[in-house]
């Protein structure tokens, strides 16, 4: 084996190692980040059983006025930023069972789409998460909130995937007992489907205070409707 061949082989092996090792490192770091964030939930007051639990990613996490915007509904927010559907599955036991909710409001999938995940995989993991809910509380309701058709999704040409996920959420709600769906996009876009950019912060993805107020005009009545239906 000559020196040139040995050098080429060494470079090849190094690059091969990096191609799989680096993503694993990123995944571990991400998991550690969420572990720390989720662990803080245990330090917060335990909500009264039967309330409304918000779960999901940063759209809900950044909704700091959720309790007042949805008042007088008994709302607890346990969303953690940057999370994907896989993380909701990973941390399910730490997030959902301790709150003993009567209704869970789900906003997740946007980060999956940003990470180039397909609609089918997102819907599959959402279905797994719903199954876990029903295993611990067969009567617990789930309200799936549409992924927002934000300016960032238009900019990154991901609207088709957003729409596919939302159609899938609507179909799950039609076919699964105790699961409901609400599309909040009409409050956040024009009649022609264009995003109202004034409702977003600079990143074109997250809502500003007025954006949350507008979203609540559709989300709050949807929550109330589900609660009335389940109380009858």
Please give the Cα distance from 195 to 149 (Å, whole number): 7
At residue 21, the pLDDT reads: 35
* 26: containing domain: 1-43
Residues 63 and 113 in one domain: yes
At 94-103, the pLDDT tens digits run 999 999 999 9
Residues 24 and 51 in one domain: no
Please give the Cα distance from 57 to 37 (Å, whole number): 12
Residues 227 and 124 in one domain: yes
CATH assignment at residue 98: 3.40.50.1110
Residues 165 and 68 in one domain: yes
Please give the Cα distance from 178 to 134 (Å, whole number): 9
pTM score? 0.86
Residues 14 and 128 in one domain: no
Residues 219 and 131 in one domain: yes
Residues 96 and 117 in one domain: yes
The angle that helices 119-136 and 159-175 make with each other, rounded to 10 degrees, is: 30
Coil, strand or helix: which one is 46?
A: coil
Please give the Cα distance from 155 to 56 (Å, whole number): 23
At 144-180, the pLDDT tens digits run 999 999 999 999 999 999 999 999 999 999 999 999 9
**Domains of the chain: total:** 2
Task: Indicate the helix (H) or strand (E) that contains 85.
Answer: helix 85-90
Residues 195 and 95 in one domain: yes
Residues 35 and 62 in one domain: no
Q: Which of 3-12, 83-92, 94-103, 207-216 comes out lowest in average pLDDT?
A: 3-12
> For the chain, how far is it from start to end, CA to CA, in angstroms?
80
Please give the Cα distance from 166 to 13 (Å, whole number): 43
Whether 40 shows a pLDDT value over 70: the answer reads: yes
- The neighbour count for residue 118, using CB atoms within 10 Å, is 13
Residue identified by tokens 């397909």 is 118
144, β-bridge pairs: 106, 181
Taking each continuous run of H as one helix and of E as one strand, the counts in the chain are 10, 5
Residues 55 and 9 in one domain: no
Listing from the earlier edge strand, what are the strands of the sheet with 141-145? 75-77, 52-56, 103-107, 141-145, 179-182
Residues 29 and 51 in one domain: no
Residues 25 and 5 in one domain: yes
At 2-23, the pLDDT tens digits run 544 454 444 333 333 333 333 3
Last residue of a domain, one of 43, 59, 74: 43
């Amino acid at each position: 084996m000559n020196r040139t061949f040995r050098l080429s082989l060494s470079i090849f092996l190094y690059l091969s190692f990096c191609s799989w090792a680096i993503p694993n490192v990123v995944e571990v770091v991400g998991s550690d980040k969420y572990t720390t964030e989720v662990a803080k939930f245990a330090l917060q007051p335990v909500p009264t059983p039967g309330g409304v639990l918000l779960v999901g990613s940063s759209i809900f996490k950044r909704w700091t006025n959720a309790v007042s915007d949805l008042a007088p509904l008994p709302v607890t927010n346990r969303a953690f930023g940057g999370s994907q559907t896989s993380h909701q599955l990973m941390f399910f036991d730490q997030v959902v069972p301790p709150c003993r909710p009567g209704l869970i409001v789900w906003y997740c999938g946007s980060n999956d789409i940003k990470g180039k995940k397909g609609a089918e995989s997102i819907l599959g993991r959402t279905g797994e998460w719903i199954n876990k809910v029903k295993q611990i509380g067969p009567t617990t309701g789930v309200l799936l909130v549409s992924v927002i058709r934000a300016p960032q999704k238009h900019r990154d040409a991901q609207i088709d995937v957003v729409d596919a996920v939302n159609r899938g959420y609507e179909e799950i709600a039609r076919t699964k007992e105790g699961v409901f769906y609400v599309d909040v996009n009409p409050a956040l876009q024009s009649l022609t489907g264009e995003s109202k950019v004034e409702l977003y912060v600079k990143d074109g993805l997250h809502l500003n205070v007025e954006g949350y107020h507008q979203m609540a005009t559709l989300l709050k009545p949807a929550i109330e409707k589900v609660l009335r239906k389940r109380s009858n």
